[in-house]
Structure 1
Amino acid sequence: MRRRARRARAGGPVRTTGLLASGAALAVLTACGGTALGDDTYVLHYTTYSNPTSDQSRTAQRWAEEVEELTDGGVTVRLHYSESLVGADESAQATLDGRADVAQVGSIYAASDLSMFTVIELPFETDNPEVQMTAIERLYEENEVYREDFDRQGVRLLFPLPLGSAAIGLQDEVTGLDDLRGRSIRAGGLTSDVMLAAGANPIGMTANDIYESMSRGVVDGYTSLALANLPTFGLSRTTPYLLDPGIGAYSSSIVVINEELFQSMPEEYREALTEASAQGISNGLEEMDALGEIACQEMVENGTEFLSLPEEEVAVWKEEAGVAERWVARYEERGYDARSVLDDYRRIIAEETPVSDYADPLVACTEGERE
């Protein structure tokens, strides 16, 4: 049973639903008094696998601050970083069973809970993270099959978080796709399928292990990371070659809230959460751009060579990989109308691409160095 005690009258205790990281009893806080919007106060526990300085966490911090400001302190958000509350693969489930109220859910961890959300991991669909995130939001409103997963899990989409376009960091130079053949490349999610299609050997490992694995020769390179991620893991100063493989936006995260909790809150608070969430995409892109610029500067200073594959090779790679069709077949076997989700995803991308002039940090950095 979900723990429902989240709020208290002015002057009384506010009991939160999220368990402490140690698994102890529910936290008990003291309310400072009523708010301008009413006498109910809420403390929402937000769980994330990101560290406090990542662009995803910085975006969440801005959201939390805006929520508190819009509610005059009636709603505060406590962020629990680096899986200190629950594991990354438990995030969606944790919002349902009461271990957390709000969660960052990565698509790489969502295959069982939010299967249709993983459509946004399909490679070669778009190299524009703004378009990808807009598609995440529009699918939630426009495609019933996509939305049903969220409703079934009892969570509401608040806003998406960008990860950017997939880069491949390498110890040695590549001149074409054939040069990836036989190399051990750290990869995850559907990007692993793409690496297999190129003849590479995808290796599963956490991002925290890449630096040591590269230095010891355990792997020849890494992917399933974007440019803005590299400073966090010490890779922007230690990667001799960085390849833009043309995979494009390869993954994303979303911030979700327990639907029952959301509906139980006063209307003013629901509106505040929605208003703050409307800034999620723009805030996320700003934070990703900031860290992407830092990464680009560090790599230039350390002599990283920026590479890219010819468009014709990328087109052949996409055709041979066939990841999208396998994704549809896999989920149609499980009873999903996955074709409708893919068709709508592509339709939205086609509609949104002409109205967005956003350039991914990887593209901007690579092209800037070639000018």
Structure 2
Amino acid sequence: MRELAMRARAGGPKRITGLVASGAALAVLTACSGTASGDDTYVLHYTTYSNATSDQSRTVQRWADEVEELTDGGVSVRLHYSESLVDADESAQATLDGRADLSQVGSIYAASDLSMFTAVELPFETDNTEVQMTAIERLYEENETYREDFDRQGVRLLFPLPLGNATIGLQEEAENLEDLRGRSLRAGGLTSDAMLTAGANPVGMTANDIYESMSRGVVDGYTSLALANLPTFGLSETTPHIVDPGIGAYSSSIVVVNEDLFQSMPEEYQEALLEASGNGISNGLEEMGALGEASCRELTGSGAEFTSFSDEEVSQWQEESAIAEDWVERYEERGYDAQSVLDDYRRIIEEETPESDYTNPLTACMEGQEP
């Protein structure tokens, strides 16, 4: 059995049997006895900043179960939750250097490692999570500049994980964009830029800190979260005002695997990983929908009030913020053909939107539908 990515473990003989990551990075393999498949059996270690009950983790667990079934137990995956293996901002590097075999990489943490992946954070581009996820996969196949980041980092995209549409949760009501001015809101990624344009004060913090920070008055509310995220962080029963700001899909995560490891596996195992990954989008949307439905029930039950900004306000906000233009300029100064990535992202969104009838949980909840 090849148990990858873990340092010395108690019990059993240990030996270094090969290279997993690119360059000089070593993966320490644990020799195990009593396995039917011998050296063709793999135990892969997956690192995530999400906890075990999140929709993202549930989606990956379904993928892992399918991989194990497709390989007749030849490949199993151990999930390490809540940054217990590595910190969130180290996920891509850890997958490259052998501390993990697979990882969840959030776009909010990817600016230095997978810069072009952050295009999916651009606000006001799409409110359809299914379309956004499909665009993540298609950019990997269709845009050379986007793909080069992954190749340079020695990781392969397996499938995206949904985060949904940006929600703003507040202690006090905001009927329009002007009402956000001067308020301190937890925010991250490119959504922070949108909050600055609106006159709000974006505050960086992990989602785990939002509940306490709101309780103590450190922040007036939060964003850079979607409806399905709220139960995970204790916010679906404690947020009196929920706003759909019109930002739409604001972020995403992806599951990546070390490329050298992937190439070293038997072809039938590679095919199994890819086949299971083909169900990633549908499984992710199903899991996000289930948690979104639970969040909607909890918010409604607690008496939360729902509002949204007008289309006119959102259009003016988008124009004034110019976040997409700034994103292109910033990365083209660093040598990227960022305009091609943005153009292809928008082209794919335009092509995929008519093919999708997906309704995101926030919209469904506000319309009184089942997400």
Asked if TM exceeds 0.5, the reply is yes
2:63 paired residue number? 63
2:187 counterpart of 1:187: yes
Shift of 1:218: 1.0
Does the 8 Å CA contact 2:6/2:99 hold for their aligned counterparts? yes
1:115 paired residue number? 115
1:30 paired residue number? 32
Can you list the C-alpha shifts for 1:248-297, whole angstroms capped at 9, x where unaligned? 00000000000001001000000000000000000000000000000000
The one-letter code of the counterpart of 2:335 is G
SS at match of 1:59: helix
Does the 8 Å CA contact 1:104/1:255 hold for their aligned counterparts? yes
Q: Name which of 7, 31, 34 aligns with 1:19.
A: 7
2:324 paired residue number? 324
SS at match of 1:19: coil
The one-letter code of the counterpart of 2:7 is L
Distance in 1 between residues matched to 2:205 and 2:161, nearest whole Å: 22
Instruction: Mark the CA change 1:86 to 1:178 in structure 2 (over 3 Å): closer, same or farther.
Output: same
TM-score under structure 1 length normalisation: 0.93
Q: Which runs of 5 or more residues in structure 2 are unaligned?
A: 15-27
Shift of 1:18: 3.0
Does the 8 Å CA contact 2:124/2:246 hold for their aligned counterparts? yes
TM-score under structure 2 length normalisation: 0.93
SS at match of 2:130: helix
Distance in 2 between residues matched to 1:180 and 1:286, nearest whole Å: 32
2:162 paired residue number? 162
Shift of 1:215: 1.1
Aligned residues: 353
1:315 paired residue number? 315
Does the 8 Å CA contact 2:184/2:220 hold for their aligned counterparts? yes
SS at match of 1:202: strand
Does the 8 Å CA contact 1:123/1:190 hold for their aligned counterparts? yes
Shift of 1:213: 1.0
Does the 8 Å CA contact 2:47/2:102 hold for their aligned counterparts? yes
Shift of 1:214: 0.8
Structure 2 matches for 1:1-371, cutoff 5 A? 8=1, 14-19=2-7, 28=30, 30-35=32-37, 40-368=40-368
Tell me how large the CA RMSD over aligned residues is: 1.6
Does the 8 Å CA contact 2:169/2:221 hold for their aligned counterparts? yes
Does the 8 Å CA contact 1:18/1:101 hold for their aligned counterparts? no
SS at match of 1:34: coil
Distance in 2 between residues matched to 1:32 and 1:167, nearest whole Å: 51
The one-letter code of the counterpart of 1:130 is E
Q: Percent identity of the aligned residues?
A: 77
The one-letter code of the counterpart of 1:19 is R
Shift of 1:350: 0.2
Shift of 1:20: 7.2
Does the 8 Å CA contact 1:228/1:288 hold for their aligned counterparts? yes
The one-letter code of the counterpart of 1:219 is V
Distance in 2 between residues matched to 1:296 and 1:87, nearest whole Å: 30
Instruction: Mark the CA change 1:303 to 1:200 in structure 2 (over 3 Å): closer, same or farther.
Output: same
SS at match of 1:49: coil
SS at match of 2:298: helix
Shift of 1:28: 3.4
1:11 paired residue number? none
Can you list the C-alpha shifts for 1:3-31, whole angstroms capped at 9, x where unaligned? xxxxx4xxxxx342233799xx9573635
SS at match of 1:30: coil
Can you list the C-alpha shifts for 1:301-332, whole angstroms capped at 9, x where unaligned? 00000111111100000000110000000000
Can you list the C-alpha shifts for 1:110-167, whole angstroms capped at 9, x where unaligned? 0000000000000000001100000000000000000000000000000000000000
Shift of 1:366: 1.1
Distance in 2 between residues matched to 1:21 and 1:119, nearest whole Å: 40
Does the 8 Å CA contact 1:63/1:276 hold for their aligned counterparts? yes
Distance in 2 between residues matched to 1:96 and 1:358, nearest whole Å: 35
SS at match of 1:45: strand
2:20 paired residue number? none
Does the 8 Å CA contact 1:31/1:41 hold for their aligned counterparts? no
The one-letter code of the counterpart of 2:54 is S
The one-letter code of the counterpart of 1:239 is T
Distance in 1 between residues matched to 2:272 and 2:184, nearest whole Å: 47
Does the 8 Å CA contact 2:3/2:44 hold for their aligned counterparts? no
Instruction: Mark the CA change 1:20 to 1:90 in structure 2 (over 3 Å): closer, same or farther.
Output: farther
SS at match of 2:46: strand
Can you list the C-alpha shifts for 1:331-357, whole angstroms capped at 9, x where unaligned? 000000000000000000000000000
Instruction: Mark the CA change 1:346 to 1:293 in structure 2 (over 3 Å): closer, same or farther.
Output: same
Does the 8 Å CA contact 2:91/2:105 hold for their aligned counterparts? yes
1:3 paired residue number? none
Distance in 2 between residues matched to 1:186 and 1:21, nearest whole Å: 39
Distance in 1 between residues matched to 2:175 and 2:3, nearest whole Å: 59
Can you list the C-alpha shifts for 1:186-226, whole angstroms capped at 9, x where unaligned? 10000000000000011111111111111111111100000
Does the 8 Å CA contact 1:182/1:199 hold for their aligned counterparts? yes
SS at match of 1:276: helix
